Amino acid sequence: MDKLLIRGGRPLAGEVEIGGSKNAALPALAACLLTDQPVRLKRIPPVRDIGTMERLLAWTGASLQIEGGEVLVRAGSLENPEAPYDLVKTMRASSLVLGPLLARTGRARVSMPGGCAIGARPINLHISALEALGARITQSHGYVEAEAPQGLRGAEIRFDRITVTGTEDVIMAAVLAAGETVIENAAREPEVQDLALLLTKMGAQIEGAGTPTIRIQGVSRLHGTEHVIIPDRVEAGTFMIAAAITAGDLRIRDCVPEHVHALTLRLRQAGTEVSEEGPCTLRVSARERLRSADITTEEYPGFATDLQAQFTALMATAQGIAIVTETIFENRFMHVPELARMGANIRLEGRQAIVAGVAELAGAQVIASDLRASASLVLAGLVARGETLIDRVYHLDRGYERIEEKLAAVGADIRRVQ
Protein backbone atom coordinates (compact mmCIF):
# COMPACT_ATOMS: atom_id res chain seq x y z
CA MET A 1 0.00 0.00 0.00
CA ASP A 2 1.40 3.42 -0.99
CA LYS A 3 2.28 6.10 1.53
CA LEU A 4 3.50 9.67 1.25
CA LEU A 5 6.71 10.76 2.97
CA ILE A 6 7.05 14.50 3.51
CA ARG A 7 9.89 16.53 5.02
CA GLY A 8 8.38 19.84 5.95
CA GLY A 9 9.63 23.39 6.20
CA ARG A 10 10.08 24.41 2.57
CA PRO A 11 8.20 27.40 1.14
CA LEU A 12 6.56 26.57 -2.18
CA ALA A 13 7.35 28.72 -5.21
CA GLY A 14 6.54 28.49 -8.91
CA GLU A 15 3.53 27.60 -11.03
CA VAL A 16 0.90 24.87 -10.67
CA GLU A 17 -1.45 23.91 -13.49
CA ILE A 18 -4.92 22.86 -12.35
CA GLY A 19 -6.53 19.82 -13.97
CA GLY A 20 -10.11 19.12 -14.92
CA SER A 21 -12.75 18.91 -12.22
CA LYS A 22 -13.43 15.42 -10.93
CA ASN A 23 -16.82 16.51 -9.62
CA ALA A 24 -17.78 17.90 -13.03
CA ALA A 25 -16.32 15.01 -15.04
CA LEU A 26 -18.29 12.34 -13.16
CA PRO A 27 -21.79 13.64 -14.08
CA ALA A 28 -20.53 14.48 -17.59
CA LEU A 29 -19.52 10.85 -18.10
CA ALA A 30 -22.91 9.72 -16.78
CA ALA A 31 -24.63 12.09 -19.21
CA CYS A 32 -23.03 10.25 -22.12
CA LEU A 33 -25.51 7.42 -21.42
CA LEU A 34 -28.37 9.68 -22.58
CA THR A 35 -27.53 9.39 -26.30
CA ASP A 36 -26.56 6.66 -28.73
CA GLN A 37 -24.24 9.08 -30.52
CA PRO A 38 -20.57 9.63 -29.63
CA VAL A 39 -19.67 12.22 -26.98
CA ARG A 40 -16.08 13.42 -26.62
CA LEU A 41 -15.07 14.85 -23.25
CA LYS A 42 -11.80 16.72 -22.78
CA ARG A 43 -9.75 17.55 -19.68
CA ILE A 44 -10.86 14.41 -17.87
CA PRO A 45 -8.63 13.96 -14.79
CA PRO A 46 -7.08 10.46 -14.54
CA VAL A 47 -8.00 9.94 -10.90
CA ARG A 48 -9.38 6.81 -9.27
CA ASP A 49 -13.05 7.85 -9.14
CA ILE A 50 -12.98 8.62 -12.87
CA GLY A 51 -11.60 5.16 -13.60
CA THR A 52 -14.44 3.66 -11.57
CA MET A 53 -17.03 5.63 -13.55
CA GLU A 54 -15.43 4.63 -16.85
CA ARG A 55 -15.58 0.95 -15.87
CA LEU A 56 -19.23 1.45 -14.89
CA LEU A 57 -20.09 2.91 -18.30
CA ALA A 58 -18.36 -0.02 -19.99
CA TRP A 59 -20.36 -2.43 -17.83
CA THR A 60 -23.66 -0.92 -19.02
CA GLY A 61 -22.66 -1.57 -22.64
CA ALA A 62 -20.99 1.69 -23.67
CA SER A 63 -17.64 1.65 -25.47
CA LEU A 64 -14.89 4.06 -24.43
CA GLN A 65 -11.73 5.30 -26.12
CA ILE A 66 -9.36 6.93 -23.63
CA GLU A 67 -6.42 8.97 -24.87
CA GLY A 68 -4.63 11.15 -22.35
CA GLY A 69 -7.18 13.55 -20.92
CA GLU A 70 -9.82 12.81 -23.57
CA VAL A 71 -12.56 10.20 -23.42
CA LEU A 72 -14.82 9.29 -26.36
CA VAL A 73 -17.98 7.51 -25.22
CA ARG A 74 -20.33 5.62 -27.54
CA ALA A 75 -23.40 4.35 -25.69
CA GLY A 76 -25.07 2.73 -28.69
CA SER A 77 -26.95 0.05 -26.79
CA LEU A 78 -27.13 -0.30 -23.02
CA GLU A 79 -27.49 -4.01 -22.35
CA ASN A 80 -26.90 -3.78 -18.60
CA PRO A 81 -28.65 -0.71 -17.12
CA GLU A 82 -27.11 -1.48 -13.75
CA ALA A 83 -24.43 -0.24 -11.34
CA PRO A 84 -23.29 -3.35 -9.41
CA TYR A 85 -21.91 -3.08 -5.89
CA ASP A 86 -18.48 -4.51 -6.74
CA LEU A 87 -17.91 -1.70 -9.23
CA VAL A 88 -19.20 1.29 -7.29
CA LYS A 89 -18.63 0.44 -3.62
CA THR A 90 -15.83 3.01 -3.31
CA MET A 91 -17.60 5.87 -5.07
CA ARG A 92 -20.44 8.12 -3.98
CA ALA A 93 -21.14 9.24 -7.57
CA SER A 94 -22.62 5.86 -8.56
CA SER A 95 -26.08 7.37 -8.02
CA LEU A 96 -25.44 9.72 -10.95
CA VAL A 97 -26.21 6.96 -13.46
CA LEU A 98 -29.66 6.33 -11.96
CA GLY A 99 -31.35 9.19 -13.80
CA PRO A 100 -29.66 8.70 -17.20
CA LEU A 101 -30.24 4.93 -17.28
CA LEU A 102 -33.87 5.33 -16.26
CA ALA A 103 -34.52 8.05 -18.85
CA ARG A 104 -32.76 6.19 -21.67
CA THR A 105 -33.84 2.57 -21.08
CA GLY A 106 -36.88 2.82 -18.80
CA ARG A 107 -35.19 0.86 -16.03
CA ALA A 108 -32.17 1.01 -13.75
CA ARG A 109 -30.67 -1.00 -10.91
CA VAL A 110 -28.05 0.89 -8.91
CA SER A 111 -26.16 -0.13 -5.79
CA MET A 112 -26.51 2.24 -2.86
CA PRO A 113 -23.55 4.64 -3.05
CA GLY A 114 -20.32 4.27 -1.10
CA GLY A 115 -17.33 6.63 -0.97
CA CYS A 116 -15.84 8.61 1.90
CA ALA A 117 -17.06 7.98 5.46
CA ILE A 118 -17.91 11.64 6.07
CA GLY A 119 -21.66 11.32 6.65
CA ALA A 120 -24.85 9.54 5.69
CA ARG A 121 -25.51 11.47 2.45
CA PRO A 122 -28.87 9.72 1.88
CA ILE A 123 -30.18 9.03 -1.60
CA ASN A 124 -33.82 9.62 -0.61
CA LEU A 125 -33.83 13.06 -2.23
CA HIS A 126 -32.93 11.48 -5.58
CA ILE A 127 -35.59 8.82 -5.18
CA SER A 128 -38.49 11.11 -4.27
CA ALA A 129 -37.63 13.44 -7.17
CA LEU A 130 -37.51 10.59 -9.69
CA GLU A 131 -40.81 9.27 -8.35
CA ALA A 132 -42.31 12.70 -9.01
CA LEU A 133 -41.19 12.23 -12.63
CA GLY A 134 -43.22 9.01 -12.78
CA ALA A 135 -40.69 6.34 -11.85
CA ARG A 136 -41.61 3.30 -9.76
CA ILE A 137 -38.78 2.73 -7.29
CA THR A 138 -38.08 0.00 -4.74
CA GLN A 139 -35.10 -0.54 -2.46
CA SER A 140 -33.92 -4.00 -1.49
CA HIS A 141 -30.67 -5.84 -0.71
CA GLY A 142 -28.62 -2.65 -0.98
CA TYR A 143 -29.94 -1.70 -4.43
CA VAL A 144 -32.27 0.96 -5.81
CA GLU A 145 -34.43 -0.51 -8.58
CA ALA A 146 -36.35 1.91 -10.79
CA GLU A 147 -38.80 1.43 -13.66
CA ALA A 148 -40.53 3.80 -16.05
CA PRO A 149 -41.81 1.58 -18.88
CA GLN A 150 -44.00 4.36 -20.28
CA GLY A 151 -41.23 6.94 -19.98
CA LEU A 152 -40.81 9.84 -17.57
CA ARG A 153 -42.99 12.94 -17.48
CA GLY A 154 -42.21 16.48 -16.39
CA ALA A 155 -43.08 17.61 -12.88
CA GLU A 156 -42.48 20.33 -10.31
CA ILE A 157 -39.80 19.27 -7.85
CA ARG A 158 -38.66 21.09 -4.73
CA PHE A 159 -35.74 19.68 -2.77
CA ASP A 160 -36.13 19.90 1.01
CA ARG A 161 -32.44 20.73 1.17
CA ILE A 162 -29.87 21.51 -1.50
CA THR A 163 -28.26 18.44 -3.04
CA VAL A 164 -25.66 18.64 -5.80
CA THR A 165 -25.82 15.03 -7.01
CA GLY A 166 -29.60 15.04 -6.59
CA THR A 167 -29.91 18.13 -8.78
CA GLU A 168 -27.60 16.63 -11.41
CA ASP A 169 -29.43 13.30 -11.39
CA VAL A 170 -32.84 14.91 -11.85
CA ILE A 171 -31.60 17.21 -14.62
CA MET A 172 -30.31 14.19 -16.56
CA ALA A 173 -33.58 12.33 -16.08
CA ALA A 174 -35.73 15.34 -16.98
CA VAL A 175 -34.04 16.20 -20.28
CA LEU A 176 -35.72 13.16 -21.88
CA ALA A 177 -38.99 13.39 -19.91
CA ALA A 178 -42.20 14.49 -21.62
CA GLY A 179 -43.16 18.10 -20.85
CA GLU A 180 -41.63 20.63 -18.49
CA THR A 181 -39.76 19.97 -15.27
CA VAL A 182 -39.13 22.73 -12.74
CA ILE A 183 -36.53 22.13 -10.01
CA GLU A 184 -36.77 24.44 -6.99
CA ASN A 185 -34.03 24.83 -4.36
CA ALA A 186 -31.59 23.48 -6.93
CA ALA A 187 -27.84 23.35 -6.32
CA ARG A 188 -25.96 26.29 -7.88
CA GLU A 189 -22.48 24.75 -8.00
CA PRO A 190 -20.23 25.31 -11.06
CA GLU A 191 -20.33 21.55 -11.67
CA VAL A 192 -24.13 21.72 -12.09
CA GLN A 193 -23.70 24.60 -14.53
CA ASP A 194 -21.08 22.65 -16.49
CA LEU A 195 -23.38 19.63 -16.75
CA ALA A 196 -26.22 21.85 -18.03
CA LEU A 197 -23.88 23.33 -20.65
CA LEU A 198 -22.88 19.86 -21.85
CA LEU A 199 -26.50 18.71 -22.06
CA THR A 200 -27.48 21.88 -23.91
CA LYS A 201 -24.76 21.12 -26.47
CA MET A 202 -26.37 17.67 -26.81
CA GLY A 203 -29.75 19.23 -27.62
CA ALA A 204 -31.36 19.58 -24.19
CA GLN A 205 -33.43 22.66 -23.34
CA ILE A 206 -32.35 23.93 -19.90
CA GLU A 207 -32.76 27.36 -18.35
CA GLY A 208 -31.64 28.68 -14.97
CA ALA A 209 -28.61 26.48 -14.22
CA GLY A 210 -26.61 28.30 -11.55
CA THR A 211 -29.77 29.69 -9.92
CA PRO A 212 -32.13 28.09 -7.36
CA THR A 213 -34.75 27.45 -10.08
CA ILE A 214 -34.00 25.30 -13.13
CA ARG A 215 -36.51 24.78 -15.95
CA ILE A 216 -36.19 21.89 -18.38
CA GLN A 217 -38.26 21.25 -21.49
CA GLY A 218 -37.99 17.55 -22.30
CA VAL A 219 -36.88 16.47 -25.78
CA SER A 220 -37.29 13.13 -27.53
CA ARG A 221 -33.57 12.47 -28.02
CA LEU A 222 -30.12 13.95 -27.59
CA HIS A 223 -27.16 13.92 -29.96
CA GLY A 224 -23.40 13.71 -29.64
CA THR A 225 -21.04 16.63 -29.01
CA GLU A 226 -17.63 17.70 -27.68
CA HIS A 227 -17.11 19.36 -24.32
CA VAL A 228 -14.20 20.59 -22.18
CA ILE A 229 -14.57 20.00 -18.43
CA ILE A 230 -14.13 23.02 -16.14
CA PRO A 231 -11.03 23.32 -13.90
CA ASP A 232 -11.11 21.64 -10.50
CA ARG A 233 -11.90 24.35 -7.95
CA VAL A 234 -11.04 22.06 -5.01
CA GLU A 235 -7.60 21.29 -6.42
CA ALA A 236 -7.09 25.01 -7.05
CA GLY A 237 -8.17 25.80 -3.49
CA THR A 238 -5.88 23.13 -2.05
CA PHE A 239 -2.84 24.63 -3.80
CA MET A 240 -3.88 28.14 -2.73
CA ILE A 241 -3.84 26.93 0.87
CA ALA A 242 -0.50 25.14 0.25
CA ALA A 243 1.05 28.48 -0.74
CA ALA A 244 -0.38 30.16 2.36
CA ILE A 245 0.57 27.48 4.89
CA THR A 246 4.20 27.28 3.70
CA ALA A 247 4.65 31.07 3.42
CA GLY A 248 5.24 30.47 -0.27
CA ASP A 249 4.48 32.18 -3.56
CA LEU A 250 2.50 30.21 -6.14
CA ARG A 251 0.82 31.00 -9.42
CA ILE A 252 -2.29 28.85 -9.81
CA ARG A 253 -2.86 28.48 -13.56
CA ASP A 254 -5.89 27.26 -15.54
CA CYS A 255 -8.38 27.95 -12.76
CA VAL A 256 -11.59 30.00 -12.51
CA PRO A 257 -11.06 32.68 -9.81
CA GLU A 258 -14.81 33.15 -9.34
CA HIS A 259 -15.17 29.50 -8.32
CA VAL A 260 -12.84 29.96 -5.30
CA HIS A 261 -14.03 33.45 -4.32
CA ALA A 262 -15.19 32.40 -0.83
CA LEU A 263 -11.77 30.90 -0.08
CA THR A 264 -10.01 33.96 -1.48
CA LEU A 265 -11.90 36.22 0.94
CA ARG A 266 -10.90 34.09 3.95
CA LEU A 267 -7.26 33.83 2.87
CA ARG A 268 -7.05 37.61 2.53
CA GLN A 269 -8.69 38.00 5.93
CA ALA A 270 -5.97 35.76 7.37
CA GLY A 271 -3.21 37.87 5.82
CA THR A 272 -2.53 36.03 2.57
CA GLU A 273 -2.00 38.03 -0.61
CA VAL A 274 -4.24 36.79 -3.45
CA SER A 275 -4.29 38.57 -6.81
CA GLU A 276 -5.65 37.79 -10.27
CA GLU A 277 -3.00 37.71 -12.98
CA GLY A 278 -5.33 37.25 -15.92
CA PRO A 279 -8.73 35.54 -16.28
CA CYS A 280 -7.40 32.05 -15.44
CA THR A 281 -4.46 32.66 -13.08
CA LEU A 282 -4.23 33.47 -9.38
CA ARG A 283 -1.08 34.42 -7.48
CA VAL A 284 -1.08 33.44 -3.81
CA SER A 285 1.69 34.41 -1.40
CA ALA A 286 2.30 34.81 2.32
CA ARG A 287 5.33 36.38 3.96
CA GLU A 288 4.60 35.95 7.65
CA ARG A 289 2.53 33.94 10.10
CA LEU A 290 -1.16 34.22 9.29
CA ARG A 291 -4.02 35.40 11.49
CA SER A 292 -6.97 33.20 12.46
CA ALA A 293 -10.15 33.43 10.39
CA ASP A 294 -13.50 31.75 10.99
CA ILE A 295 -15.33 29.78 8.29
CA THR A 296 -18.75 28.17 7.94
CA THR A 297 -19.24 25.68 5.14
CA GLU A 298 -22.21 26.35 2.89
CA GLU A 299 -23.56 25.40 -0.50
CA TYR A 300 -22.09 27.36 -3.42
CA PRO A 301 -21.31 30.24 -3.55
CA GLY A 302 -20.45 29.81 0.13
CA PHE A 303 -17.29 28.22 1.55
CA ALA A 304 -16.96 24.73 0.08
CA THR A 305 -17.13 21.77 2.46
CA ASP A 306 -14.49 20.09 0.27
CA LEU A 307 -11.99 22.75 1.43
CA GLN A 308 -12.87 22.71 5.12
CA ALA A 309 -10.26 20.13 6.18
CA GLN A 310 -7.50 21.95 4.29
CA PHE A 311 -8.45 25.30 5.84
CA THR A 312 -8.51 23.69 9.28
CA ALA A 313 -4.90 22.61 8.74
CA LEU A 314 -4.03 26.17 7.77
CA MET A 315 -5.63 27.58 10.92
CA ALA A 316 -3.70 25.07 13.05
CA THR A 317 -0.60 27.27 12.67
CA ALA A 318 -2.27 30.71 12.53
CA GLN A 319 -2.16 33.31 15.31
CA GLY A 320 -5.28 33.28 17.45
CA ILE A 321 -8.37 31.09 17.63
CA ALA A 322 -10.47 30.12 14.61
CA ILE A 323 -13.93 28.57 14.69
CA VAL A 324 -14.61 26.15 11.83
CA THR A 325 -18.29 25.26 11.44
CA GLU A 326 -19.32 22.34 9.22
CA THR A 327 -22.96 22.50 8.08
CA ILE A 328 -22.96 20.06 5.12
CA PHE A 329 -21.71 16.71 6.48
CA GLU A 330 -22.10 15.54 10.06
CA ASN A 331 -18.86 13.55 10.22
CA ARG A 332 -16.30 15.69 8.42
CA PHE A 333 -13.79 16.26 11.21
CA MET A 334 -12.05 12.90 10.95
CA HIS A 335 -8.79 14.68 10.14
CA VAL A 336 -8.73 16.44 13.52
CA PRO A 337 -7.31 13.55 15.62
CA GLU A 338 -4.53 13.07 13.06
CA LEU A 339 -3.70 16.78 13.05
CA ALA A 340 -3.58 16.57 16.86
CA ARG A 341 -0.90 13.87 16.53
CA MET A 342 1.15 16.51 14.74
CA GLY A 343 0.72 19.00 17.58
CA ALA A 344 -2.40 20.88 16.49
CA ASN A 345 -4.58 22.28 19.28
CA ILE A 346 -8.16 21.62 18.15
CA ARG A 347 -11.28 20.98 20.23
CA LEU A 348 -14.44 19.55 18.70
CA GLU A 349 -17.87 20.69 19.86
CA GLY A 350 -20.57 19.09 17.74
CA ARG A 351 -20.29 20.53 14.26
CA GLN A 352 -17.65 23.05 15.25
CA ALA A 353 -13.89 22.83 15.56
CA ILE A 354 -12.21 25.42 17.79
CA VAL A 355 -8.68 25.75 16.42
CA ALA A 356 -6.07 27.47 18.62
CA GLY A 357 -3.09 28.08 16.38
CA VAL A 358 0.32 26.79 17.49
CA ALA A 359 3.71 28.14 16.49
CA GLU A 360 4.85 24.85 14.96
CA LEU A 361 3.58 21.43 13.93
CA ALA A 362 5.73 18.31 14.23
CA GLY A 363 5.96 15.50 11.71
CA ALA A 364 4.32 12.21 12.67
CA GLN A 365 2.86 9.00 11.27
CA VAL A 366 -0.79 9.68 10.39
CA ILE A 367 -3.62 7.88 8.63
CA ALA A 368 -5.89 9.39 5.99
CA SER A 369 -9.58 8.69 6.60
CA ASP A 370 -11.13 10.26 3.48
CA LEU A 371 -10.26 12.24 0.37
CA ARG A 372 -10.15 15.80 1.72
CA ALA A 373 -8.75 14.72 5.10
CA SER A 374 -5.84 13.28 3.13
CA ALA A 375 -5.19 16.68 1.58
CA SER A 376 -5.24 18.39 4.98
CA LEU A 377 -2.56 16.02 6.26
CA VAL A 378 -0.40 16.69 3.20
CA LEU A 379 -0.68 20.43 3.86
CA ALA A 380 0.19 19.98 7.52
CA GLY A 381 3.16 17.82 6.55
CA LEU A 382 4.46 20.53 4.21
CA VAL A 383 4.88 22.95 7.12
CA ALA A 384 5.67 20.53 9.97
CA ARG A 385 9.12 20.12 11.46
CA GLY A 386 10.66 16.78 10.57
CA GLU A 387 9.10 13.88 8.65
CA THR A 388 5.42 13.09 8.15
CA LEU A 389 4.35 9.69 6.85
CA ILE A 390 0.77 9.51 5.57
CA ASP A 391 -0.87 6.09 5.25
CA ARG A 392 -3.90 5.12 3.13
CA VAL A 393 -3.19 7.68 0.41
CA TYR A 394 -5.49 5.74 -1.93
CA HIS A 395 -8.12 8.16 -0.60
CA LEU A 396 -6.03 11.00 -2.03
CA ASP A 397 -5.76 9.26 -5.40
CA ARG A 398 -9.55 9.29 -5.70
CA GLY A 399 -9.58 13.04 -6.31
CA TYR A 400 -6.09 14.44 -6.92
CA GLU A 401 -3.98 13.84 -10.02
CA ARG A 402 -0.27 13.35 -9.19
CA ILE A 403 -0.45 15.75 -6.26
CA GLU A 404 2.97 14.71 -4.93
CA GLU A 405 4.57 15.38 -8.34
CA LYS A 406 2.94 18.80 -8.62
CA LEU A 407 4.07 19.72 -5.10
CA ALA A 408 7.60 18.47 -5.67
CA ALA A 409 7.83 20.59 -8.84
CA VAL A 410 7.30 23.76 -6.77
CA GLY A 411 9.75 22.91 -4.01
CA ALA A 412 8.15 20.41 -1.64
CA ASP A 413 10.20 17.51 -0.28
CA ILE A 414 7.58 14.83 -0.87
CA ARG A 415 7.64 11.37 -2.40
CA ARG A 416 5.49 8.28 -2.67
CA VAL A 417 6.82 5.17 -0.93
CA GLN A 418 5.69 1.57 -0.66
Q: Decide if 292 contacts 319 (C-beta within 8 A).
A: yes
Whether 186 and 137 map to the same domain: the answer is: yes
Q: Is 116 a catalytic residue?
A: yes
Q: Decide if 195 contacts 28 (C-beta within 8 A).
A: yes
Whether 263 and 215 map to the same domain: the answer is: no
Whether 82 and 203 map to the same domain: the answer is: yes
Whether 187 and 143 map to the same domain: the answer is: yes
User: In whole angstroms, what separates CA 335 from the centre of its chain?
Assistant: 18
Whether 223 and 285 map to the same domain: the answer is: no
Domain boundary among 228, 250, 268: 228
Whether 385 and 304 map to the same domain: the answer is: yes
pLDDT tens string, the chain, 418 residues long: the values are 899 999 999 999 999 999 999 999 999 999 999 999 999 999 999 999 999 999 999 999 999 999 989 999 999 989 999 999 988 887 777 889 999 999 999 999 998 765 444 344 567 888 999 999 999 999 888 899 999 999 999 999 999 999 999 999 999 999 999 999 999 999 999 999 999 999 999 999 999 999 999 999 999 999 999 999 999 999 999 999 999 999 999 999 999 999 999 999 999 999 999 999 989 999 999 998 999 999 999 999 999 999 999 999 999 999 999 999 999 977 779 999 999 999 999 999 999 999 999 999 999 999 998 888 899 999 999 999 999 999 999 889 988 988 999 999 999 999 999 8
Whether 140 and 169 map to the same domain: the answer is: yes
| Domain count of the fold of the chain | 2
CATH code for the domain in which residue 137 is found: 3.65.10.10
Whether 212 and 247 map to the same domain: the answer is: no
Q: Which domain holds residue 96?
A: 22-228
Whether 163 and 303 map to the same domain: the answer is: no
Is the alpha carbon torsion for 5, 9, 10, 12 positive or negative? positive
Whether 296 and 188 map to the same domain: the answer is: no
> What separation in angstroms does the CA of 59 have from each of 56, 64, 357?
5, 11, 49
Domain boundary among 228, 258, 293: 228
Domain boundary among 177, 199, 228: 228
pTM (whole model) above 0.85: yes
**CA–CA separation, 221 and 218 (whole Å):** 9
